[in-house]
Chain A
Amino acid sequence: MTIPQMFTVVLGGLVCLASICGFWSKRTRRFRALVWLGLGLAMVYVGFRPHIIEYLGEDGTELRLRLVVALLSFIMLSVTLEAIRVSRMQERYAFLWLATGMLLFLGALSPLLAIWGPRLTGMSYGAIVMVVLFSFIIFVLFHVSVTISRLEANVAELVRSLALADERIRKLQCASEIRVHGKQGDQQQNAVTPEESAQS
């Protein structure tokens, strides 16, 4: 057993231990603890049986590419779901993200899609991933433009309402000032006249 192997095994064991401890003391949620546990176990396994990496290397680029795409799309999916969960993102804006993430994730995992996709379209797997991602970016930008236009119209409407309300307040203020001053004048006049009448 070489030193890097030992290091990987020890590190994986520590990760497993930390995830279990975190879950036990209820500081980590179940899902995260499971993910970390899986990662730790995988590290331990790779440390003991490093030929898996060699096998992946022998198999050529496509499998590794699929693994990378699966990992990235999984991160994309989980980040999107997390954003929805803590209500930072509305579902309709998340739709495109989820759809693309699911497509890439399933395409990377299922052998059927990964084999038939290239055969049907005549492109390699990597090219298909690029096409999907690129059209996703175009769609997202389009969606953002539409949304910005709508928001801008809403803001303009709000500004107009605000300006009209502001003008109304100014008018009311002016009218009330006139009324108050007018009343004071009346009161003074009224105050004078009874005294005068009393004196007389």
Chain B
Amino acid sequence: MGYCSFSDMQLPDKTIFLIPVHNEEANIEPLLAEIRALYGSVPVCFINDFSRDRTCRVLRRNHCVYLDLSNNLGVGGAMQAGFRYAFEQGYDYVIRVDGDGQHPPSECVVLVERMMVGDVDMVVGSRFLGSGDYRSTWYRQAGIFWLAWTLSKVCRRTITDPTSGFQMVNRAVIGYFAHQYPVDYPEPEALALLSRQGYRFCEVGVSFRARRMGRSSIRQWGTIYYLFKVGIALLVDRCRAVDPRYDRSCAEEWV
């Protein structure tokens, strides 16, 4: 195992960073530089979700590995493409970092540390467990609170940050997500699906940063649609039977 102490910021073998980007031309280079400085030549795969700016050109200029989607699929569709790439290329761990620079790569260590303890398939970085004081608009706070409450009820455990996209997953979950991943606003529903299919996950506290450039893809009306969509999805998923093809016990063969 090529996994050493955390002082020199080593990641486990066969780890890949998946970074979904949509109109993030200004954020890519700083983020990439940060990852390179911290983790050296760890594989990084960008998923360009049909950006309308020069994102693709920036990726090509930096000789990045990237998936270029020919239509806008939303974060969920883009991430599923990334998970399929990681699955087909035989990676054991995926660290998902958002392309807007909100997730500091230095905090990945916390996720890796928890993952290496074992007994979980997915580690989610929660901004409400961490020390960093995260501020947002009141309606978004309320929405997150409501979602967290619902999701905690659905999963029968406490979930503090249901919308966090700062995650690390192992091979079993990569295989599951490569085959099945929610469409838009995927994070809460993905948690519910995982808990339904018998995968284990936990949250750890990390501190988030404010966006560097550009703006969030979820705006005011988006928040209402988000709540509606995710509420329906959680309810329906709860009523759906467990898919035997992607059960946790079946995931062992992908590992």
For residue A144, CB closer than 8 A to chain B, the reply is no
| Complex interface: chain B residues within 8 A of A180 (CB) | none
Known: A156-B77, A156-B183. A167 touches B71 (CB 8 A): no
CB <8 Å contact, B69 and A163: yes
For residue A146, CB closer than 8 A to chain B, the reply is no
CB <8 Å contact, A156 and B73: yes
Closest to B81 in A: A160
Dominant SS among interface residues on chain A: helix
CB <8 Å contact, A167 and B88: no
For residue B242, CB closer than 8 A to chain A, the reply is no
CB <8 Å contact, A167 and B65: yes
CB <8 Å contact, A160 and B65: no
CB <8 Å contact, B69 and A159: yes
For residue A127, CB closer than 8 A to chain B, the reply is no
CB <8 Å contact, B84 and A159: no
| Complex interface: chain A residues within 8 A of B68 (CB) | 163, 166-167
Contact residue among B73, B77, B84, B183 (Cβ-Cβ distance under 8 Å from A164): B84
Contact residue among B67, B73, B80 (Cβ-Cβ distance under 8 Å from A167): B67
> Most chain-B Cβ atoms within 10 A of its Cβ — which of A160, A164, A166, A171?
A160
| Complex interface: chain B residues within 8 A of A167 (CB) | 65-68, 85
Dominant SS among interface residues on chain B: mixed
| Complex interface: chain B residues within 8 A of A166 (CB) | 67-68
| Complex interface: chain B residues within 8 A of A163 (CB) | 47, 67-70, 81
Closest to A153 in B: B183
- B124 CB → nearest A CB, Å: 24
Q: How many residues of A contact B (CB 8 A)?
A: 11
For residue A79, CB closer than 8 A to chain B, the reply is no
Known: A156-B77, A159-B77. A164 touches B85 (CB 8 A): yes
Closest to A171 in B: B65
Report how far A157 CA is from B120 CA in the complex, Å: 29
- What 1/0 flags go to A12-46 for Cβ under 8 Å of B? 00000000000000000000000000000000000
Report how far A31 CA is from B77 CA in the complex, Å: 51
Report how far A160 CA is from B65 CA in the complex, Å: 15
| Complex interface: chain B residues within 8 A of A159 (CB) | 69-71, 73, 77, 81
Report how far A166 CA is from B46 CA in the complex, Å: 13
Report how far A160 CA is from B71 CA in the complex, Å: 9
- What 1/0 flags go to A105-134 for Cβ under 8 Å of B? 000000000000000000000000000000
| Complex interface: chain B residues within 8 A of A153 (CB) | 183
Report how far A166 CA is from B81 CA in the complex, Å: 12
- A148 CB → nearest B CB, Å: 13
- What 1/0 flags go to B79-99 for Cβ under 8 Å of A? 011001100100000000000
Considering only residues 144-180 of chain A, those with a C-beta below 8 Å from chain B are 153, 155-156, 159-160, 162-164, 166-167, 171
- What 1/0 flags go to A32-70 for Cβ under 8 Å of B? 000000000000000000000000000000000000000
CB <8 Å contact, A160 and B88: no
| Complex interface: chain B residues within 8 A of A156 (CB) | 71, 73, 77, 80, 183
| Complex interface: chain B residues within 8 A of A155 (CB) | 71
> What are 29 contact pairs spanning A and B, CB under 8 A?
A153-B183, A155-B71, A156-B71, A156-B77, A159-B69, A159-B70, A159-B71, A159-B77, A160-B69, A160-B73, A160-B80, A160-B81, A160-B84, A162-B69, A163-B47, A163-B67, A163-B69, A163-B70, A163-B81, A164-B67, A164-B81, A164-B85, A164-B88, A166-B67, A166-B68, A167-B65, A167-B66, A167-B67, A167-B85
Since A159-B69, A166-B67 are in contact, a sample of 9 more A-B pairs with Cβ atoms closer than 8 Å, ordered by chain A residue number, is: A153-B183, A156-B71, A160-B77, A160-B80, A163-B67, A163-B68, A164-B67, A164-B84, A167-B68
Nearest 4 pairs of A and B residues by beta carbon: A163-B67, A160-B81, A156-B77, A159-B71
